[in-house]
A and B are shown apart, each in its own frame.
Chain A
Amino acid sequence: MILEDAPLILDAFDVHKSYGEHEVLKGITSEVMKGEVVCLLGPSGSGKSTFLRCVNQLEKPDVGSIQINGELIGYERRGDKLFELSDDRLAAQRCMTGMVFQNFNLFGHLNAIENIMLAPRLVLKQDKDETRHEAERLLDQVGLKGRERAYPSQLSGGQQQRVAIARALAMKPQLMLFDEPTSALDPQLVGEVLSVIRGLAETGMSMMIVTHEISFARSVADKVMFMADGVVIEVGPPSQVLDNPQAERTIEFLSEL
């Protein structure tokens, strides 16, 4: 449950992003409060994934400010000037967000537990035993106890995605970003991943999820954001945006599903 005066985890304001002549994001403003689950819906090419990638600086926005937990991302403000951060400072900022990719992107040369342990050991300089203990707990949380030594190639898509979620959680992020987490999965494997995400929502994790699973969005989201052609068309609780859409684009999109 989100409190009325819950702090803002994500505060994105007027985010623009172009690739050459093509403007993918035309001014996105979005907020995520602590413990809130926001689902991003919209046709492909609408800029949902690009926006998500801007939030953790995998893409650098051309214009617009993004703050996570009150910290400006990508820049340092000194007086009336913004100084771009170096790659190393950006890397440190990315620890505030955890990202789950469509294609899992598990490290192929490492087994499940090593995948989870790599970043906490390398970036947070955590103690080895403590990290292993934590990684085992996370694997248990995503329902993969006992698969510590399995390599990504030995796991199903659903299992790989669950390891990827555990890997992101190991960095104790303030905000979890999911970029179409079930789009690359066989239909019978979608459920196991969605139930892990649902469980995560119940722990009070703040999340932003790009998805095409409307019924999942309806049941898990506190807020649904519908995007098309690089702009936000409609925002609101699922009961409003999904069941009683006002904008033409939203009605059209939902009727095609």
Chain B
Amino acid sequence: MNSTRAQALLGADRTAATDGPRPRGATSIVQVIPARYPYRWIGGSIALLLCVWGLYTVATSPNITWSVVAAYILNGTILEGMRLTIVLTIVSLTVGVILGTVLATMRLSNNPVLQVISSAYITTFRGTPLLIQIIFWFNIALVVPVIRIGWPQAGFGFETQTNVIMTAMTAAILALGLNEAAYMAEIVRGGIISVPKGQDEAASSLGLTKRQAMWRVVLPQAVRAIVPPTGNQLIIVLKNTSLVSVIAARELLTATQQIYSTNFYTIELLIVAAGWYMVMTAVATILQGYLESRLEYSLRSRTHPFHKRFVRSLLSIGRKNYMEVRG
């Protein structure tokens, strides 16, 4: 509260107090003492001490050579691995979004065959570990040794050994993309369902075909519900790419492992990789926030930024210091 106004109010109170017995309904200005929260300070202090102790142990550990961390941050192999991680993320998410939308519309269609196929796909790819799927696609040649399209003997189409096509990178894209499609299918389906049925009915009553109603009325509104969880998926896929290190796809974690297997600075290089993953997820988070605000969907925007709420809840400040009360 403005201090001059508080003074004025207090002055008024003093005058009122010296005027003898107050008439009924008279008011006075009294100071408000905010409640204090000592346990917030105690709890906060203990937690903070533990964190500082942990960080100090790591930072001063004689077993971590920080100069190695610094030396490898901009290492060529690491940066090339990071580039592949980004490519892998973007390609798999794109495959996931497109195939996921197709699966979602199949699931919501009136064709029972398509419904069942879509459900079975989603159940299979969500129900098995991604790591197994990655190893599976890398070894698909054991099941299908030769890929043949058309009729090569007759002079059209081609035939090739599966292993020639199924490189670690192809297997990684297939595994991540097909797995992601199952998750995106549920996100897109949820988005479509979130649009009230009346929208579709109104579109139908105006003579729009089912396809037109879906593409021009329902999907544009489903995007509201689809964008925020897709941003989350971007971050999840980004980190999941590290799993393809089991088939040595040369992305960031593979590159890291390759270096520490020769120089044995295991922890140092993992810190480098972890740091870059954090930078990439931070950028993805900023992009996600930007996209959401562009679509005007920041429904949960707070009135006060975090640092103000932090200080307020510790010190109980920002409340009225004086209040006018009856009697």
A residues sitting closer than 8 Å to B (CB atoms) are: 56, 58, 87-88, 91-92, 94-95, 97-99, 101, 103, 105-109, 118-119, 122-124, 164, 167-168, 171
Interface check B220, CB cutoff 8 A: yes
A91 in contact with B199 (CB, 8 Å):
no
- Are B210 and A87 in touch, CB under 8 angstroms? yes
Contact present for B212 and A108 (CB under 8 Å): no
Contact, CB under 8 Å: B221 / A109: yes
With an 8 A cutoff between CB atoms, is B155 at the interface? Answer: no
Selected contact of B207 from candidates A106, A107, A108, A119, CB within 8 Å: A119
Complex interface: chain B residues within 8 A of A99 (CB): 202, 205
Best-buried of B207, B210, B221 by chain A (most CB within 10 Å): B207
Measured CB to CB, the closest approach of chain B to A128, in angstroms, equals 15
A123 to B204, Cβ gap below 8 A? no
Contact A105 B207 (CB under 8 A): no
Decide yes or no: A101 and B220 within 8 Å by CB, A58-B204, A91-B207, A123-B206 being known contacts: no
> A95-B206, A109-B220 are known contacts; what are 10 more A-B pairs with Cβ within 8 Å?
A91-B204, A95-B207, A101-B198, A105-B198, A105-B202, A106-B202, A107-B221, A118-B206, A119-B206, A168-B206
CB distance from A217 to the nearest CB of B (A): 23
A247 to chain B, nearest CB (A): 32
Is B198 within 8 A of A103, CB to CB?
yes
Does B209 reach chain A (CB closer than 8 Å)? Answer: yes
Contacting residues, chain A, for B207 (C-beta < 8 A): 91-92, 94-95, 119, 123-124, 171
Residues of B within 8 A of A122 (CB): 208, 212, 216
Q: Are A94 and B206 in contact (CB under 8 A)?
A: yes
Q: Which residues of B contact A105 (CB under 8 A)?
A: 196, 198-199, 201-202
Interface pairs A-B: 6 shortest CB-CB: A119-B206, A105-B202, A99-B205, A95-B207, A105-B198, A123-B207
Asked whether B102 is an interface residue with its Cβ less than 8 Å from the other chain, the reply is no
**A171 to B204 CA separation, bound complex (whole angstroms):** 12
- B259 at interface (Cβ–Cβ under 8 A)? no
The answer to whether B220 touches A94, judged by C-beta atoms less than 8 angstroms apart, is: no
With A107-B217, A109-B220, A122-B216 as contacts: A91 and B198 at CB distance below 8 Å: no
In the complex the two chains form, is A108's CB within 8 Å of B199's CB? yes
The minimal Cβ–Cβ distance linking B213 to chain A, given in whole angstroms, is 9
List A contacts of B212 (CB < 8 A).
91, 122-123
Q: How many Å lie between the Cα of A98 and that of B196 in the bound state?
A: 20
Q: Tell me the complex Cα distance, A101–B273, Å.
A: 57
Which chain A residues border B202 with CB–CB below 8 Å? Answer: 99, 101, 105-107, 164
- Cα separation A58 to B203 with both chains bound (whole Å): 11
Query: B216: which A residues are within 8 A, CB to CB?
Result: 118, 122
Q: Which chain A residues border B217 with CB–CB below 8 Å?
A: 107, 118
| Chain B, Cβ-Cβ closest to A86 | B209
CB distance from B227 to the nearest CB of A (A): 13
CA gap between A119 and B198 in the complex, in Å = 16
Cα–Cα distance between A88 and B213 once the two chains are bound (Å): 12
Tell me the bound Cα distance from A28 to B206 in angstroms: 25
12 A-B pairs whose Cβ atoms sit less than 8 Å apart in the complex: A56-B205, A91-B207, A91-B208, A91-B209, A94-B206, A94-B207, A103-B198, A105-B196, A105-B199, A107-B221, A118-B208, A119-B208
